[in-house]
Amino acid sequence: MAAQETEQRSTRAMPLFFAFARVTYGRILRLMYKMTLTKSEVVTNLAPPYIVIANHVNTFDPILISTMYDKPIRWVAGDTLFRNPLLGYLLRNLVGSISKSKSRSDYYTIREMTRIIRQEKGIVGIFPEGQRTWDGITLPLYYSTAKLVRMLKVPVVVCILEGGYHSLPRWSNKRRRGRLILSFKNPIMPEQFSGKTTDEIYLMLTKALEFNAHTYQKTHKIRYRARRRAEYLEHVLYICPKCGSVVSMESHKNNLTCSTCGLTVTMDEYGFLSSSDAAFTYTTVAEWNQWQQEEARSRIRTGYWADGNGKGNGKPIFSGDTALFGEGYRDKRLKYHGEVQVTMDLEGLTIVQGEKIWKFSYDTMESVTIAFQRIFEFYADNRLYRLKFPPPRSSAYKYLSMHACIIEERAIRQQMEDAE
């Protein structure tokens, strides 16, 4: 561990860099995304130190917010970005970003945020979901955010990116021409947190960041123009709701079609789904995604992928995928082993390269997450492992989603066994 966990330097931000970026790149982004800002005088006049929290919907969220905000924000960013030496240097020394290992306790991150708030009297920006939403619904927040807010005792400014999901969904690589509003709510002041438990603060933050992009669209009806609106939807939608086939959905331009049963679904300019097939009843990506997660959990409970005794590996859930396999630690450069074959079953992941075999049980896998769009990462025995799936249609999300379903069903089964 000592060899792996090298000393991390404090970050520093250059105010002139923020000012320059705001009047150059910021202007370009404002035009590209048709960005506007809503912010009360209370937020405008709020003096640092304080924390900004925002829902995470778009690749460029930190940049979009920073270029529209009149004070430098020191964003907490995933350590994936820092593994590139040049980008890592720029993030630490110009932008002042703080490296964070996703889904893991991180002393360095807490220390650096505390230093910026208490010593520099600065502004720290956090995306408490820890990753971008795949379906337009705010994800569960990391509980550590509530602990941090309770500890630092500074105001919390909430920013909601309205229209961010439909401008550039995580599953797509094409920006849509529409509208994006950065909506800053009045700050939650320290006295509002006073005397509250961490659980109560967590609920306050969850409610403040709660946002459904599809409900918003039903009310505002903003057109998001693009020629290939549905392309790469199979990144997130991997079970057909008509025939139940897994990994059978294929996108082309505005349509998503099941290669097994022929179901065709169309996405319109408002981001809503429709089909001439009466078997399809969902109108949003979120509704379909919620159904497929419930379907996956049902199949796990009923032994769909189990062996004849309802136990053991049984048949694979996913198999035949190729990926570039690497390992490392935190924000250090990864060592790549080359291309491998990946299989997922009820017991864990099996990774094969010729005669070499790596097996990872769910009991040993921690901090499971996705970086960018097609990079599946997790820790096992305090080592970071990465599976980088090839472009353009390979889905890393299906592994993340299925892992979450398996872990949830295991926890429910354990609770039932403990209660007996």
* Domain 318-419 part of CATH 3.40.50.1950: no
Mean pLDDT for all residues in the chain: 92
Paired tokens of 197: 């438990």
**Single pTM value for the model:** 0.92
Q: Which residues, in sequence order, are CB contacts of 130 under 8 Å at separation 6+?
A: 56, 102, 103, 139, 142, 369
Strands 123-126 and 50-54: parallel
pLDDT tens, 375-401?
Answer: 999 999 999 999 999 999 999 999 999
Q: Provide the 8-state DSSP code for 405.
A: H
* Distance, CA of 185 to CA of 203 (rounded, Å): 17
Element (H, E) at 285: helix 285-301
Which of 104, 206, 125, 191 has its CA nearest to residue 155?
Answer: 191
Q: Which residues, in sequence order, are CB contacts of 363 under 8 Å at separation 6+?
A: none
The answer to whether 285 and 233 have CB atoms below 8 angstroms apart is: yes
Q: Residue 5's pLDDT is what?
A: 41
* Distance, CA of 4 to CA of 7 (rounded, Å): 10
Q: Residue 88's pLDDT is what?
A: 76
Q: So what CATH class is 15-220?
A: alpha beta
For 288-336, give the DSSP string: HHHHHHHHHHHHHHTTTTS-TTS-SS-S-SEEEEEEEEEEE-TTSPPEE
Given the structure tokens 């290939």, which residue do they identify? 228
Q: Provide the 8-state DSSP code for 142.
A: P
pLDDT tens, 328-374?
Answer: 988 788 999 999 999 999 999 999 999 999 999 999 999 999 999 99
Q: Which residues, in sequence order, are CB contacts of 45 under 8 Å at separation 6+?
A: none
* Distance, CA of 391 to CA of 396 (rounded, Å): 11
Asked whether the domain spanning 318-419 has the same topology as the one spanning 15-220, the reply is no
- CA distances to 9, 63, 67, 68, 158 from 18, rounded to whole Å, are 21, 10, 8, 11, 21
Q: DSSP 3-state assignment of 132? A: coil
The answer to whether 265 and 273 have CB atoms below 8 angstroms apart is: yes
pLDDT tens, 235-262?
Answer: 999 999 999 999 999 999 999 999 999 9
Domain-wise residue ranges, the chain:
15-220, 233-281, 318-419
The gap from C-alpha 285 to its chain's centroid, in whole angstroms, comes to 16
* Distance, CA of 240 to CA of 244 (rounded, Å): 5
Given the structure tokens 């599809």, which residue do they identify? 214
Which of 287, 172, 292, 280 has its CA nearest to residue 235?
Answer: 172
Q: Is the pLDDT of residue 419 over 90?
A: no
Phi first, then psi, for residue 52 (nearest 5°) are: -110, 125
Q: Residue 9's pLDDT is what?
A: 56
Comparing 18-22, 277-281, 338-342, which segment has the lowest mean pLDDT? 18-22
